[in-house]
Amino acid sequence: MKVKSTRKIGYKTVSIPKNLYEKLEALIAETGFPNVSQFVVFVMRMILSENEKTMDKTMERKIKSRLKSLGYLGE
């Protein structure tokens, strides 16, 4: 059973070169993506997710370093 979300998602238009769009169309022809827009959204979410993971690790290292410098963590 699908549950409809009550919050509305706003959209913005992003322009890409026509030749890139055509390459993406050819690429997704063999996938389950119904159109280029949904494929691009999927890829961007993946990139942002990876970026967040990297940022989390970077922040974790900074916090540990700071706690060590304050004497809360051993070397």
Residue with token string 């996938």:
31
The answer to whether residue 9 is domain-embedded is no
Q: Report yes or no on 11 lying in a domain.
A: no
Total structural domains in the chain? 1
DSSP string, 4-60: --SSPPP-------HHHHHHHHHHHTTSS-SSHHHHHHHHHHHHHHHHHHHHHHHHH
Rg value, the chain, Cα: 21
Residue 49 belongs to a domain: yes
In a domain, 44, yes or no: yes
Report the predicted TM-score, pTM, of the whole model to 2 decimal places. Answer: 0.60
Residue 36, domain extent: 18-69
pLDDT digits over 26-71, tens only? 989 988 899 999 999 999 998 888 877 777 888 888 878 877 787 7
